[in-house]
Amino acid sequence: MEPPSLIYEQAYWQQGYCRVVGVDEVGRGCLAGPVVAAAVILPVDCVPLPEVRDSKQLSARQRSRLFGQIYNQAIAIGIGSASVAEIDQVNILQATYRAMARALARVAPWDHALIDGKLTKTAPFEKVTAIIGGDRHSYSIACASIIAKVRRDRFMARLARRYPQYGWERNVGYGTPQHRQALDQYGLTPWHRRSFLKSLLHTDLHLCNAITGD
């Protein structure tokens, strides 16, 4: 598969937009933890790092190595997140938009944004181009996907030290068999998305397990 290129970025650079930002999110399909977005602005004379790909195509070791290299290459990087409470309150799509908007705010001012995926009419963005499969085609979006993935994985690994039963250091909140078995055995933590779990759990969703202290 061809690596992501700068073809989208160059189209806007040639129009005089110097601060073109790639945006991507991770954690949208997880059962636990926040959704995290990253926004990355690259220099106009950027030379792509040859290993950069969609973060899902890379190993954890590769992502960790590229994480620092992308920070060294970028003009600006912003991280935004939306909490479990927000996800349950406004739904995952709107929470994802909030995380992206917060990431974009941290690299302002910017001229145009390239966002992975397909935006709905409720997306609160202007001056954006949505690219389906953007993390496979746009270099700045692929960089954002790596940054967001590493930041969220590290956060979930820290949470795993508090809640070791769920294996978050390995599954980072996704619904693996181990994670689901732990949910049946131990119940919910404050970091679980109740709106995602109504059809999966056999426990009362208004109660947290005793290990949470709630």
Closest listed residue to residue 103, CA positions, set 164, 147, 66: 147
Closest listed residue to residue 194, CA positions, set 61, 103, 84: 84
**Structure pTM?**
0.91
Does residue 214 have a pLDDT over 60?
no
Separation CA 7–CA 43 (nearest Å):
14
Does residue 11 have a pLDDT over 70?
yes
CB-side neighbour CA atoms (13 Å) of 17: 17
Residue with tokens 């109504």: 198
pLDDT in tens, 63-89: 999 999 999 999 999 999 999 999 999
Does residue 43 have a pLDDT over 90?
yes
The answer, yes or no, to whether the previous bond of 109 is cis (omega within 30 of 0) is yes
Residue 121: per-residue pLDDT:
83
Separation CA 198–CA 96 (nearest Å):
20
Q: Which residue has the higher pLDDT, 7 or 203?
A: 7
Residue with tokens 């970028």: 74
The residues with which 20 forms a beta bridge, in sequence order, are: 112
- Within 8 A by CB and 6+ apart from 210, the residues are none
Residue 200 — very low, low, confident or very high, per pLDDT cuts 50/70/90? low
Residue 212: per-residue pLDDT:
34
CA 112 vs. chain centroid, Å, equals 20
Residue 2: per-residue pLDDT:
85
Does residue 19 have a pLDDT over 90?
yes
Amino acid letter at 213? G
Q: Are strands 35-41 and 20-26 parallel, antiparallel or unpaired?
A: antiparallel
